[in-house]
Structure 1
Amino acid sequence: MNTKPLCTLTALLTFVSAGAHASSTDVNISGTITPAACTPSLSSNGQVDFGNISMPDLTPQPGIPDHSVLAPRSLTFSVTCDRATRFALVATGNRRDSSSIPLPKAFGLGSTTSGQAIGFYSATWPDNGATLDNLPADTLYSEDSGSTWVKVPGSGFEHLGDKPESRLGFALRGQTSPSAAEVLNLRLDVAGWLRNDMTHVDEALLDGHMTIELQYL
């Protein structure tokens, strides 16, 4: 991420000498304040491939009617900053309208040529799935754009359009608000569910797409 000037300060000071024939000179003070630069990245270039899928080989998912579950895939999501920085994460599902269930953590997998939703996927992590600067970290959740935080036992991304005030942060053990850190590593588990009324789905039809955004605090 390119750093940009946050603000430019210009001050004008005028010195005036006493007397009828006073003269003056100007002093201009300028400077640029830049924020820390943080770069998010995903292992495998963010690609999750479920391959060729045969519906008869899948296991129906208890508790989610009419869906079968795919074996989960794991990625590593990382944030690297040039100095210790406090930040939060949000996510936008770019295929949100194709999710087969209307839940914030359900992201769409695309649609068939007839317009039928194929299913949905989630991107979550376990309670021990996060580290800050190689130290164990807790996941924090905010429902008010970061004004207050609560610890949660692991978590997952929610579609920002459904929960516009939600934020996910990370804190060193014992802290109650997001910690400043240079490196976050997060084990991201991506699981998929397909509708049971399809007989065969080629991997080319699976078209999930999510954007993860970093927000400075």
Structure 2
Amino acid sequence: MKVLSALVAVAVVAGISFNANAAIDLRVKGTIVPASCVPFLQGGGVVDYGNIPAEDLNQTSFTVLEKKEIVFNINCRSATKVGLKALDGKGFSQIPGILAATIGPDYTDNYNYGLGATVDGESIGGYAVNLKPGSFNAGGAAVKAITSLDNGTTWIETTTGAVGQTDNIASWSSTTGLPTPISFITLSGAMEVQAVINKASELTINNDVPLDGLTTFELSYL
């Protein structure tokens, strides 16, 4: 009996020593994300100029096409400040200076989006994208487009609503006071697209030449 009692005592002591050195971690994880916003462009985001007769193109200068409008909305789950960044998917086909020479000097190549190229590699033209002045409202109140040229550090008013690339961000502010991005749940308005076609003498038009512009818009949470 005494031997048995001694063995039991050793087992108990060994068990206590093992449990004192054991450890387990509890990790608490998760990510706080901005309020989700969803942009919407009418008609799947397609601006269609239809058929453009080759004989209507100017042989020695650029041909400016009419402006086209497309409904643009942003819907957020809660009041959120957002900006709009743009990326030219056809930047390889840009024609330097085409917009500045036709639409106006403010339309530098930072606002110039390519229209693709012919099968012979000739650049077809370019286009500008504007947030149409006077068309936007947020929650029923009129707002105006503003822009940042330095990735959101500072903001300025824009009379054209032109959407630029690289470090440019477009946003919206109240119609009074300083140009500062405002929070909103719903925003609605219109985008304007104006295309300019290259000189006909620079294009080989033996077959149909489709305009092939592609701009990707990305919401930036401010």
Per the shorter chain, which TM-score range? 0.7 to 0.9
Task: Say whether the 8 Å CA contact 2:131–2:163 is kept in structure 1.
Answer: no
How many residues align? The count is 187
Partner of 1:174: 176
TM-score, normalised with respect to structure 2 = 0.74
More helix by share: 2
Change (3 A) 1:174 1:35: same
Task: Say whether the 8 Å CA contact 2:133–2:144 is kept in structure 1.
Answer: yes
Partner of 1:37: 36
Structure 1 CA distance for aligned equivalents of residues 40 and 67 of structure 2:
20
TM-score, normalised with respect to structure 1 = 0.76
Change (3 A) 1:28 1:124: closer
Unpaired runs of 5+ residues, structure 2, are 1-24, 98-108
Matches within 5 A, 1:106-185: 106-160=112-166, 165-176=167-178, 177-185=180-188
Q: What is the aligned-residue RMSD (CA, Å)?
A: 2.8
Letter paired with 1:180: S
Change (3 A) 1:126 1:59: farther
Q: Does 1:210 align with 2:212?
A: no
Partner of 1:78: 73
Structure 2 CA distance for aligned equivalents of residues 43 and 202 of structure 1:
30
Structure 2 CA distance for aligned equivalents of residues 81 and 135 of structure 1:
16
User: Residues 8-37 of structure 1: CA distance to partner in whole angstroms, max 9, x if unpaired?
Assistant: xxxxxxxxxxxxxxxxxx998776533200
Percent identical pairs in the alignment equals 28
Partner of 2:55: 56
Task: Say whether the 8 Å CA contact 2:54–2:205 is kept in structure 1.
Answer: yes
Letter paired with 1:53: I
Letter paired with 1:171: S
Structure 1 CA distance for aligned equivalents of residues 44 and 121 of structure 2:
29
Which of 85, 89, 94 is the aligned partner of 2:89? 94
Structure 1 residue 199 displacement after superposition: 7.2
Change (3 A) 1:200 1:84: same
Change (3 A) 1:201 1:118: farther
Structure 1 CA distance for aligned equivalents of residues 77 and 128 of structure 2:
30
Letter paired with 1:183: T
Unpaired runs of 5+ residues, structure 1, are 1-25
SS of structure 2 residue aligned to 1:156: coil
Structure 2 CA distance for aligned equivalents of residues 201 and 48 of structure 1:
24
Structure 2 CA distance for aligned equivalents of residues 167 and 146 of structure 1:
6
SS of structure 1 residue aligned to 2:164: coil
Structure with greater Cα Rg: 2
Structure 1 CA distance for aligned equivalents of residues 197 and 26 of structure 2:
68
Partner of 2:191: 188
Task: Say whether the 8 Å CA contact 1:131–1:184 is kept in structure 2.
Answer: yes
Letter paired with 1:168: A
